Amino acid sequence: MTNLKKERVIAYLDGFNLYFGMLEAGYKDYKWLDLRELVISLLKENQELSEIKYFTSRVSNNPDKQKRQSIYIEALESKNIKIYYGHYQRDKIGCERCGNVWPNYNEKMTDVNIATQILLDGYKDKYDMAMLVSGDSDLVPPIKAIHENFNDKRVFVAFPPKRFNNSVAIVARGSLIIGRKKLVQSQFPDEVVKSDGYVLHKPIEWRE
């Protein structure tokens, strides 16, 4: 019997799209999410995972959140997940009625970084299928570019909870919505041991 060649998959995860989608869905107890286990659970038998790329920005205005994020990123890196960073841009929002002004932080560069990596990896023939975990409509152009320029490649979208986007679904070649069960089944253990023996502990604030 001839063994069929498996479809090579690289996963591209929009960290904040996933995070805030989970919060909006009421899934705040599942932040300690093992993304490798999650992605593997979404694969079919004829697919093999080549790489996972996670896109985020460092929290800069809250020391406690910074610490929790750093622990989580270390846990992801222990599972050989590549991290790509954008940044926060400090803007101001004002109240026309009262005249008060407040700082407002917006994440920048994530969509550009994802688009760049998907296109570069396609050009280098690193995957047959790109699995995109995001509902950001800014990613429609790179999805279309992959399908228009590579006949042997496709982009499949796994929408985070509460992040389904019809404009993205239309251009994708296959999609699903990540449900609660997948999140529950893809949690890190409370202690994650790194390759050097250092033990990472699930943040107390994330424990039930």
Q: How is domain 7-206 classified at the architecture level of CATH? A: 3-Layer(aba) Sandwich (3.40)
Residue 207: predicted pLDDT: 84
**Percentage of the chain lying above the pLDDT 70 cut:** 88
What is the pTM assigned to this prediction? 0.90
Structure token pair of residue 177: 């919505």
What pLDDT does residue 150 have? Answer: 97
Q: For residue 102, is pLDDT > 50?
A: no
State residue 86's pLDDT score: 84
> To the nearest whole number, what is the mean pLDDT of the chain?
91
Q: Residue 1 belongs to what H/E stretch? A: none
The pLDDT of 33-52, averaged and rounded, is: 98
CA-CA-CA-CA torsion sign (153, 158, 163, 169): positive
3-state SS assignment for residue 128: coil
Sheet architecture: strand order including 129-133 = 82-85, 47-56, 7-14, 129-133, 154-159, 175-177
For the chain, give every domain's residue range: 7-206
Contact between 191 and 53 under an 8 Å Cβ cutoff? The reply is no
Encode pLDDT of 61-100 as tens digits.
789 999 999 999 999 999 999 999 985 555 555 556 666 6
> What confidence score (pLDDT) does residue 6 get?
94
Instruction: Name the least confident of 62-66, 168-172, 187-191.
Output: 62-66
Closest listed residue to residue 184, CA positions, set 32, 20, 2: 32
Q: Is 49 a residue whose pLDDT tops 80? A: yes
